[in-house]
Amino acid sequence: MTSEPLSLPAAAEPTAFSRLMRRVLGQKAFVIGVGILAVIVLIALLAPVLAPHDPYLQNLSARNVPPFWYAKGSWVHPLGTDQLGRDYLSRVIYGARISLLIGISVVIISGLIGTTLGLAAGYFGGKVDMLVTFLVTTRLSMPVILVALAVVAMIGGSLWIVILVLGFLKWDRFAVVMRSATQQVRSLDYVAAAEAAGASTTRIVLREVLPNIAPHLIVVATLEAASAILLEAALSFLGLGVQPPLPSWGLMISEAKAYMFFSFWLIAIPGTALALLIFAINLAGDGLRDIIAPEGRS
Amino acid sequence: GKSDNSVVMAYDQAPESVDPFFNNVRIGVIIGQHVWDTLIYRDPITNDYKGQLAKSWKWVDDRTLEVELREGIKFHNGEEFDADDVVYTLNFVSKPENKVTTQQNVSWIEKAEKVDKHKVRITTKKVFPAAIEYLAGPVVIHPNEYYEKVGPAGQNDKPVGSGPYKVTEYVPGKSIVLETNPDYFADSPKPKPTIGKVEIRFIPDRQTQMAEAISGGVDFIMHVPKDQAEQLEAAPHLQVVSGETMRIVFMQMNSQEGTPAPALKDERVRKAIIHAIDRETMVKEIVGKGSRVLNTICFPSQFGCTDHGAPKYPYDPEKAKSLLAEAGFPNGLELDIVAYRERNQTEAIIGYLQAVGIKANLRFLQYAAMREQIRGNKAMLTHQTWGSFSVNDVSASTPVYFAMGDDDISRDPEVRDALNKGDNSVDPAVRNASYKEALTRIAEKAYAVPLYSLPVYYVATADLDFRAYPDEMPRFWEMTWKK
Amino acid sequence: MIGYILKRLGLALLVALAVSAIAFFLLRMSGDVAIAIAGEGARQEDIELVRRTYGLDRPLVVQYVEWLWNTLRGDFGTSIYFKTDVATLVFAKLPTTLLLGVLSLGFALLVSIPLGVLAAVYANSWIDRLALAIAVVGQALPNFFFALILVMLFSITLRWLPVSGSKTWANFIMPTIALGYYVAPAFMRLIRAGMIEVLSADYIRTARAKGLPTRKVIFKHALRNAVVPVVALTAVQLGFLLGGSVVIETIFALDGLGYLAYQSITFKDFPVMQVIVLMLSVLYVLLTLAADIANAWLDPRIRVA
Amino acid sequence: MTALIEAHDLTRSFEVSRGMFKGKRTLHAVNGISLDIRQGEVLAIVGESGCGKSTLARMLLGLLPPSAGAITLEGQDIRSLGRKGMARRVQPVFQDPYSSLNPRRTIASIVALPLEVHGIGTAAERRKMTIEMLDKVGLPQRFADRYPRELSGGQRQRVAIARALVMKPEVVVCDEPTSALDVSVQSQILNLLMDLRRELNLTYVFISHNLAVVEHIATRVAVMYLGRVVELAETEALFKAPRHPYTKALLASVLTPEPGLGIPDTGLGIAFPDPLNPPSGCPFHPRCPERLPQCGSVVPQILRDENGAVACHLHGQAPAPH
Amino acid sequence: MANSSDIVLEIDGLSVDIRTAGGTLHAVRDISFSVKRGETLCLVGESGCGKSMTSLAIMDLLPKAATKSARRLAFAGEDLSRAGKSRINALRGNRMSMIFQEPMTALNPAYTIGNQLVEAYCLHKKASEAEARERAVFLLGKVGIANAAERLGQYPHQLSGGLRQRVMIAMALMCGPELLIADEPTTALDVTIQAQILRLLADLQQELGIAMVLITHDLGIVARIADRVAVMYAGQIVEEGPTTSLFNAPRHPYTQGLIECIPVPGRTEPGGRLGVIPGVVPSLVGEVRGCSFRDRCTKAQQACLDAPPVRETADGHRWRCILENAA
Ligand SMILES: Nc1ncnc2c1ncn2[C@@H]1O[C@H](COP(=O)(O)OP(=O)(O)OP(=O)(O)O)[C@@H](O)[C@H]1O
Ligand SMILES: Nc1ncnc2c1ncn2[C@@H]1O[C@H](COP(=O)(O)OP(=O)(O)OP(=O)(O)O)[C@@H](O)[C@H]1O
Ligand SMILES: [Mg+2]
Ligand SMILES: [Mg+2]
Ligand code: NI
């Protein structure tokens, strides 16, 4: 028997990592999303270096200077100035920090709440599940924007209040997704096998269940981050979000809308930045979902 | 528009009720003055008092006013106007249990009595020289029979007054349509209107209002911020009219006992704050035409208001910094500032404070919430405005904030005494002197930052001929179409 | 069936109770109503008077129980700001908002169903990518921003549509689009995903094996099953739309529940806020119930065996 | 042979909802089963889909508490043993090799999990034991650091077996361990199981619906129908002389690869069993070709004799009237 | 050989390629066979060897990613590989029909079985709904469903798996097909029901003279039902022949191994070792040269690196191996 030349390629597949990479790179949308997101994150991190001016420095005698591409614009303020004469480019750059901070913080708070509830409901079922389902229904039945508006209106807006309010309001999707994902994983035999091996419930939840639902968690987290950023923008738009002079994009849109009919760039610039960020996060989230989907199924 | 002799006005806020006693918003006053009449009328230009529903009036004693009423006036529903209407209205609104919203406009009334069909007597609770001013402003007269029947709610549903316009359609929260009252009495100081129909639509969003103005959906908007008004001026079919109002803007600084910002107890810090703000530039760049810089906390036209002898604090950031350093804050300090309107101006103030090292965190609140903060001794800096209810007397402004009332957060007894003296005297000379004393001391101690008066900008179709008054009252009855 | 509905109504009641309690305590604890009622320039004694006459000086729990009792009796209280009966107020504004909600939902479905079906049928083709691009871009635009752009375009530049008000149907076009476009992507994705899944289901192969034309396979056999989850989403999204109408109604000066909510928040009009939140939550629970029943009708597996 | 595990009158019911608009109903997945598992035997449990085999297995593993009845392990109630105590002595091998391995763990860490949980040895020792175990089930060391998705079904099932055996349990409960596998792989796994049994002196509970496999591997067979054991006998006896009509039908349905025999007629009716709505009397009577008048109303008693047990009116005395 | 007009399905050189992320997967590689009227051909093989792809290729139901090519794929003498979509639609469900493996999911849950039964009949036979229902009732009775008229109003989820599979069979027979392809019709069912369904299928096929292609991986079924058997391995037919000949004298090492693996009472000793086929199935991605079984073949030689010849005996038993007889 001559074994060597006889061997055929077996049904074994390429390594997990290279397969994953191929799937990731195959998702052009995902690559674009992550790319844009990375740029925005970099801008946020390097804001002090990148911003040409202090974003808070006002100059009332140089107000509403248009961006450089208008005849009246200049390169001193590449994107012009706002209604208090502050450098618009610097404010947009610093605004990235705020939006990202909001997105990330809200997701951490709501993710912790929602995941805990969802895991408990999905794993233990029965009464716990009923309770969580009730909580979710109750939460879902109150429109986020309305409750957030009311609470912020009452106790006054500020960055951290907005973050806390949104964090305590937006856990529902985490709970719902984590619940069903946990239920699904819970019924799989490897959980039973771990139980039969004597593993404690905590261990099973943390080591067997959680890692397997983590991809769903990440997908929900990205989409929720986008929605939190949008909500903050909406609150700020109604004047009940973060407070000036903080350069939040939502606030900038809100302030610029007064000028939209005559100085459209004022609203278009933060509006585009916001849309771009949301766009990038959604692309990344969608892509991620597609990337993990087949794995979840098999 | 001119073609159908009607004006569509947009306003950003709907009144809770169109009954003037049951709202405290400007649009309510505007509707009130068009649909109802008052006993007395103050000419907005000359400030002379004229009889409107009253033919004449005189003080019988310090607390009793006798009013002779005009005859032959009819309410919109045909009800005849006489002493019963006045007596009923005044007695009704002055009773706290009737829960009138604008308590301060009526709480001075002790009672009203009918002398005969066309004569009434009004008693004030204490000596109250400003009574005429109130009777010429917010205190309108309702038809007693109708009002008795339908109450405040019914008066809101189907308002009936005696004014130059009557309400023909009202959808609360949405719009109200006023049409000329053909039977309006000829002798009224308010002339018979030319504009046949006034529709007031409530459009909360300022941009939407502007869009409507640009696209011709609305003929008249007011309270347009300076920048926007200037931009709208470029539109050929629009005109911009602006004027000063009695609304003053100032910053209170909490320096009373237990203040959350002890730094403000230091006069040098307070002075530094005033020096830090470039009020001239603010007025010129962002507040707008008609505004003037103030040096004392009152409106200059008000009786008793003066800044003679009061120290002035010009814009001087270096001085501000050195004052702060002297006070022990060479590296600056951090303060909260509460505010409730003109957010861009607050933002500019924050910018100025930041430049001298004071980090001011904005807490932009609803008026009520801000009031709560101030009264609860939780506020540090406050950015406030005060319109004095268009009452042209210092008693309606400065004492509110410095006579140790609920809103006084500097609480200087000397100031209080001087103000009380002015309030409770009928002698103009005494009043002038005491108010001056108070205002000067407030300025010397730098208890508050007097900023500027607010202008009002109106944007209207170019065809409309009208003027702006300090009381922020558009008077449709005297508007005409340009030829 | 009856039992199930009763159970769900019971749940609705429980949710309503929880929501009302949350709303009541949250709102009351964060602000003083008396000052709000008394208004600008009120003196301390005025405020005290208000506090006494409105019974605001009693413990919160007592006030809540009283409120609950009154509500159960059908007395929703009086608006602090508008001074009128809250029920009348709210029910007067409800139709506008419901109309707007239903219109924008209809708009969203009208756009998303064909797009979703196309994207699924031509999965991974340029049609699919285009549909996905529309969805992602759509979801990235904040609706207030989009609304303003619509106004710029259709009212200011083109002068085709009135900016604000609710007089004619033309007034509803922009609000409908501005509100509806944001939820359309969610529907589209769901329909696309559902269709892709359904199209790969065994019974679709069965249908094709029968020689049925493609059109019939897609519209009779696939779509019917793919819309089942859409119905459930519809309920959630209608709730979302009602919440989202706060912004849109404010921009377009549509005098509906959303704007009323915004006003009542602004004026601390607790009774109104309370009832709006309560009403929206009950509406939501009832909608989900309706969606469940609709689902059962669409999906016989859920129906009575 | 002594009884290692004894089940007494084991019952398990589930509350199942049947669609939104109907109330919940009780489903008796396992209905009064008494069974003993003897040291060293291979007890096969056969029966149709949904008859409660897996439910019984999960109860035997201590993964599912019985609604009624008790299980003892060497006379001790398994509830008192606790999760860890059971884990040392009874281990499972599940049907689906895809869902029974955590996709996020390496093969080595999957196999080492029981050791880790029980704190046996140091990490290095555990690794060594794991590699040895993998070797024993025929997986070379290079598989240790791979992930389950890189393995074929048969290889995965070997991993599952390694995990079950790494703690050196006495009893292995195999729930259809080969039914997801191709025949060519099935024979490898069956060979492996038999080899390990001899080598480690294991006791198997072997669940299957493949009677040919059962006949090949089991020493004793329990036949289940709708939550009950209807017949229990030594393998040879059962296949040679089935007593219960259902067992007979089952045996008749086996299609051995012998050309020319055609498809047998089982003589069964088509009234398929619905566990939610079990027939009265003998659960098998609607399909039974040998039905007696009393079958429709009286539940047959279990007759236990030297040949095993059978629950059928055809065998044993008429039930005593109540 | 057989009268050519009797040949219902004739396949020559059918290949199916599937585009995957990792490259082209040759799921079916150059297979040929034919089925006559009244004949049952069984396709056996392990999971993934291309059985389903073959059947789907015949029915033109391949997934989007798959493409087929064939020298000839003829149904009743008509070359389907050149027929248009509408022509195929006219044949499908009418003169050729198919039964799928999963009775639980092969019926549309949203429609009653009556609705789904009559659909094809109304379409192809231009019959009225009433006529179609009549035929449906008749056929349901034939597949052993009592009170058939009532069943028409039921939804699939109200039926058990065995009943659903009967409905599927009835559905496939609605238009009186000449060719019936059954892809693992009983794999999901219990053994007792499996026996019943297979018996039913065999009886109906005999009675109606249908040409049947039955796909399975169960050698037991094959032995009992097939007239001829084709054994597939890695996309190819490695051995094909009359059932008895194939079982009694398997020629290909793979077929032999397969038969060895299964425990057969009487032949295998209880508890004893079973035969095994070592190794795993080769990947079908990319070009596969030579004998695809050589990896696992105990008799592999250097010659296996080249494509093995097809050998044939007089009774139509063919196999692909360098060996005349591996036994
Ligand atoms: N967690 C559960 N909730 C509700 N019903 C259940 C549950 N687990 C099992 N059942 C039901 O109990 C009955 C027995 O199920 P079990 O899984 O034990 O059957 P089985 O004999 O193993 O079947 P199979 O051969 O299909 O694996 C079935 O009708 C099943 O639907
Ligand atoms: N949609 C698809 N995309 C990619 N590969 C596929 C697809 N469908 C099938 N395959 C691959 O094609 C090959 C043949 O599949 P096929 O379904 O014909 O096998 P089978 O013999 O029917 O197997 P089973 O017995 O499991 O049904 C397998 O390797 C399978 O992985
Ligand atoms: Mg099972
Ligand atoms: Mg197949
Ligand atoms: Ni070979």
Q: Is B235 on the interface with A (CB under 8 A)?
A: no
| pLDDT confidence tier of residue C270, bands split at 50, 70 and 90 | confident
Could you please state the CATH topology (level 3) that the domain comprising A34-49+77-297 is classified under: MetI-like fold (1.10.3720)
Arithmetic mean of pLDDT, E224-250: 92
Cα separation, B63 vs D11, whole angstroms: 95
| Enclosing H/E stretch for D224 | strand D220-225
- Decide if C62 is inside a domain: yes
Write the CATH number for E256.
Answer: 3.40.50.300
- Decide if E148 is inside a domain: no
- C182 HSE (CA, 13 A, CB side): 29
Arithmetic mean of pLDDT, C76-94: 81
Closest CA–CA distance from residue D280 to any residue of chain E (Å): 19
Shared domain for C160 and C63, answered yes or no, is: no
Distances in whole angstroms, Cα of residue A171 to Cα of each of A165, B295, C12, C189, C230 = 11, 52, 21, 22, 22
Task: Count other C-beta atoms under 10 Å from residue A288's C-beta.
Answer: 22
Identify all chain C residues contacting E171, using CB atoms and an 8 Å cutoff. Answer: 206, 210
Q: Are strands B238-253 and B448-461 parallel, antiparallel or unpaired?
A: antiparallel
β-pair partners for B58: B66
pLDDT (tens digit per residue) in C279-303:
888 888 888 888 888 877 777 766 5
pLDDT (tens digit per residue) in E184-231:
888 878 888 888 889 888 988 988 899 999 999 889 999 999 999 999
- Decide if D286 is inside a domain: yes
- Residue D51 CA to ligand 1 center (angstroms) comes to 7
Q: Is A63 on the interface with B (CB under 8 A)?
A: yes
**Encoding tokens for residue B76?**
């919109």
The residue among E266 and B251 whose pLDDT is bigger is B251
Q: Is A208 on the interface with D (CB under 8 A)?
A: yes
Closest CA–CA distance from residue E294 to any residue of chain A (Å): 7
Shared domain for C214 and C254, answered yes or no, is: yes
Q: What is the 3-state secondary structure (H, E, C) of chain C?
A: CHHHHHHHHHHHHHHHHHHHHHHHHHHHHCCCHHHHHHCCCCCHHHHHHHHHHCCCCCCHHHHHHHHHHHHHCCCCCECCCCCCEHHHHHHHHHHHHHHHHHHHHHHHHHHHHHHHHHHHHCCCCHHHHHHHHHHHHHHHCCHHHHHHHHHHHHHHHCCCCCCCCCCCCHHHHHHHHHHHHHHHHHHHHHHHHHHHHHHCCHHHHHHHHCCCCHHHHHHHHHHHHHHHHHHHHHHHHHHHHHHHHHHHHHHHCCCCHHHHHHHHHHCCCHHHHHHHHHHHHHHHHHHHHHHHHHHHHHCCCCCCC
Helix (H, G, I), strand (E, B) or coil at A113: helix
| pLDDT confidence tier of residue B278, bands split at 50, 70 and 90 | very high
Are the beta carbons of E276 and D191 separated by less than 8 Å?
yes
Cα separation, A296 vs B29, whole angstroms: 66
- Decide if E288 is inside a domain: yes
**What is the number of structural domains in chain E?**
1
- Decide if D130 is inside a domain: no
- Decide if C294 is inside a domain: no
Are the beta carbons of A258 and B207 separated by less than 8 Å?
yes
Percent of chain A residues topping a pLDDT of 90: 20
pLDDT given at position C39: 61
Return the top range by mean pLDDT from A10-19, B226-235, B364-373, D258-267. Answer: B226-235
- Report CA E216 to chain centroid distance, whole Å: 7
Shared domain for C22 and C133, answered yes or no, is: no
All residues at 6 or more sequence positions from D208 whose CB lies less than 8 Å from its CB, including other chains? D44, D45, D46, D176, D178, D179, D214
Expressed as residue numbers, the domain containing E202 is 4-95+175-320
Give the nearest chain A residue to B225 (CA atoms). A258
pLDDT given at position A227: 87
Name all residues whose Cβ lies below 6 A of ligand 2. E 18, 20, 25, 27, 45, 47-53, 63, 65, 217, 284
Are the beta carbons of C304 and D19 separated by less than 8 Å?
yes
Residue D322 above 50 pLDDT? no
Shared domain for C184 and C266, answered yes or no, is: yes
All residues at 6 or more sequence positions from B77 whose CB lies less than 8 Å from its CB, including other chains? B143, B146, B160
Residue C80 above 80 pLDDT? no
Write the CATH number for C216.
Answer: 1.10.3720.10
Q: Is B369 on the interface with A (CB under 8 A)?
A: yes
Closest CA–CA distance from residue B471 to any residue of chain A (Å): 25
Cα separation, C211 vs E90, whole angstroms: 6
Q: What torsion do the CA atoms of D134, D137, D143, D145 make, to the nearest 10 degrees?
A: -30
Judging by beta carbons within 10 Å of its beta carbon (0-12, 13-18, 19+), is residue A124 exposed, middle or buried? middle
- Decide if C6 is inside a domain: yes
Per-window interface: C 271-300 vs A, CB < 8 A? 273, 276-277, 280-282, 284-285, 288
CA nearest ligand 1 atom 11, residue: D29
Shared domain for C8 and C140, answered yes or no, is: no
All residues at 6 or more sequence positions from D214 whose CB lies less than 8 Å from its CB, including other chains? D44, D46, D206, D208, D221, D235
Pick the closest to residue A278 from A148, A158, A99, A101 (CA basis): A99
Q: Give me the residues near ligand 5 (ion), CB cutoff below 5 Å.
A: E 291, 294, 297, 304
Arithmetic mean of pLDDT, E275-282: 84
pLDDT given at position C223: 86
- Residue E43 CA to ligand 4 center (angstroms) comes to 11
Residue E20 above 60 pLDDT? yes
- Decide if D120 is inside a domain: no
List strand residue ranges (DSSP E) for D176-219, in order.
203-208
pLDDT (tens digit per residue) in A133-155:
899 988 888 888 888 888 887 77
- Decide if D314 is inside a domain: yes
Arithmetic mean of pLDDT, B423-437: 86
Identify all chain C residues contacting E90, using CB atoms and an 8 Å cutoff. Answer: 211
Closest CA–CA distance from residue D26 to any residue of chain C (Å): 16
**Encoding tokens for residue B381?**
């800096």
Cα separation, C159 vs B216, whole angstroms: 9
Shared domain for C49 and C95, answered yes or no, is: no
pLDDT given at position A81: 87
Letter for the amino acid at B40? I
Shared domain for C139 and C213, answered yes or no, is: yes
Are the beta carbons of D250 and E47 separated by less than 8 Å?
no
Mean pLDDT taken over chain D? 87
- Residue D202 CA to ligand 2 center (angstroms) comes to 38
| Enclosing H/E stretch for B362 | strand B358-364
Pick the closest to residue D32 from D299, D237, D308 (CA basis): D299
Identify all chain E residues contacting D189, using CB atoms and an 8 Å cutoff. Answer: none
Rg of chain D taking only CA atoms, in angstroms = 21
Cα separation, B364 vs B12, whole angstroms: 19
- Decide if C80 is inside a domain: no
Query: Which residue from D58, D104, D160 is facing A212, i.e. has the nearest CB?
Result: D104
Arithmetic mean of pLDDT, B357-362: 90
**Ligand 1 pocket mutation, candidates D13, D27, D95, criterion most atoms within 8 A of CB:** D27
Cα separation, E293 vs C301, whole angstroms: 46
pLDDT (tens digit per residue) in A72-129:
878 888 888 888 888 889 999 999 998 899 999 999 999 999 999 999 999 998 889 9
Angle between helices D245-253 and E191-208 (to 10 degrees): 50
Task: Count other C-beta atoms under 10 Å from residue A15's C-beta.
Answer: 12
Query: Which residue from E282, E283, E305 is facing A5, i.e. has the nearest CB?
Result: E305
Are the beta carbons of E283 and A1 separated by less than 8 Å?
no
Letter for the amino acid at B157? D
CA nearest ligand 2 atom 6, residue: E18
Cα separation, E52 vs D183, whole angstroms: 18
**What is the number of structural domains in chain D?**
1
Identify all chain D residues contacting C302, using CB atoms and an 8 Å cutoff. Answer: 19-21
Pick the closest to residue C84 from B35, B370, B170 (CA basis): B170
**What is the number of structural domains in chain C?**
2
Cα separation, D30 vs D60, whole angstroms: 12
Identify all chain D residues contacting E160, using CB atoms and an 8 Å cutoff. Answer: 272, 274
β-pair partners for E18: E25, E66
Lowest mean pLDDT among A194-208, B136-150, D288-302, E122-136: D288-302
Pick the closest to residue E108 from C122, C123, C223, C304 (CA basis): C223
Question: b/e per residue, D251-271, with b = 16+ CB within 10 A?
Answer: bbbbbbbbbeeebbebebebe
Phi (first) and psi of residue B150, to 5 degrees: -100, -20
pLDDT given at position A137: 87
- The number of the ligand nearest the C-alpha atom of E239 reads 5
Q: Is E100 on the interface with C (CB under 8 A)?
A: yes
Are the beta carbons of C202 and E106 separated by less than 8 Å?
yes
Looking at the CA of residue E217, tell me the nearest atom of ligand 2.
Answer: 25
pLDDT given at position D297: 86
Shared domain for C38 and C148, answered yes or no, is: no
Identify all chain D residues contacting C4, using CB atoms and an 8 Å cutoff. Answer: 20-22
pTM of the model: 0.83
Arithmetic mean of pLDDT, D311-319: 71
- Decide if E161 is inside a domain: no
Expressed as residue numbers, the domain containing D305 is 246-275+282-322
Asked if D161 and D194 count as a contact pair (C-beta separation under 8 A), the reply is no
Judging by beta carbons within 10 Å of its beta carbon (0-12, 13-18, 19+), is residue B265 exposed, middle or buried? middle
Peptide bond into B182 cis (omega under 30): no
pLDDT (tens digit per residue) in D174-201:
998 888 888 888 898 899 999 999 998 9
pLDDT given at position D126: 92
| Sequence spans of domains, chain A | 34-49+77-297
Q: How is residue E46 annotated by DSSP?
A: -
CA nearest ligand 2 atom 7, residue: E18
Cα separation, D52 vs B275, whole angstroms: 87
Pick the closest to residue B118 from B78, B184, B68 (CA basis): B68
Pick the closest to residue C271 from C77, C68, C5 (CA basis): C77
Identify all chain C residues contacting E63, using CB atoms and an 8 Å cutoff. Answer: 200
For chain B, the maximum distance between any two Cα atoms, rounded to a whole number of angstroms, is 72
Cα separation, E97 vs E119, whole angstroms: 14
Q: Is A57 on the interface with B (CB under 8 A)?
A: yes
Pick the closest to residue A249 from A280, A272, A270 (CA basis): A270
Name all residues whose Cβ lies below 6 A of ligand 1. D 14, 16, 27, 29, 47, 49-55, 209, 275
Cα separation, B235 vs B214, whole angstroms: 7
Instruction: Tell me the ipTM for this assembly.
Output: 0.81
Shared domain for C188 and C52, answered yes or no, is: no
Residue A2 above 50 pLDDT? no
Residue bearing tokens 């400007």: B26
Residue C37 above 70 pLDDT? no
Shared domain for C50 and C127, answered yes or no, is: no
Q: Are strands E236-242 and E318-320 parallel, antiparallel or unpaired?
A: antiparallel
Shared domain for C32 and C126, answered yes or no, is: no
Shared domain for C11 and C117, answered yes or no, is: no
Q: What torsion do the CA atoms of A29, A35, A41, A45 make, to the nearest 10 degrees?
A: 180
**Encoding tokens for residue B399?**
């004492």
Identify all chain E residues contacting D212, using CB atoms and an 8 Å cutoff. Answer: 220, 262-265
Expressed as residue numbers, the domain containing C47 is 2-72
pLDDT given at position A126: 85
All residues at 6 or more sequence positions from B82 whose CB lies less than 8 Å from its CB, including other chains? B69, B71, B117, B118
- Residue E164 CA to ligand 4 center (angstroms) comes to 19
Lowest mean pLDDT among A7-11, B258-262, B325-329, E283-287: A7-11
Are the beta carbons of C296 and D20 separated by less than 8 Å?
yes
Arithmetic mean of pLDDT, B51-59: 90
Pick the closest to residue C255 from C100, C144, C147, C126 (CA basis): C100
Cα separation, C191 vs A27, whole angstroms: 21
Phi (first) and psi of residue B435, to 5 degrees: -65, -40
D267 phi-psi bin (left φ>0, alpha ψ -120 to 50, beta other) = left
Are the beta carbons of A146 and C261 separated by less than 8 Å?
yes
Q: Cα angle at D255 between D254 and D261, to 5 degrees?
A: 125
Sign of the dihedral through C-alpha C122, C125, C128, C131? negative
- Spell out which chain A residues touch chain E, with contact meaning CB-CB distance below 8 angstroms: 1-2, 5-14, 19, 22-23, 26
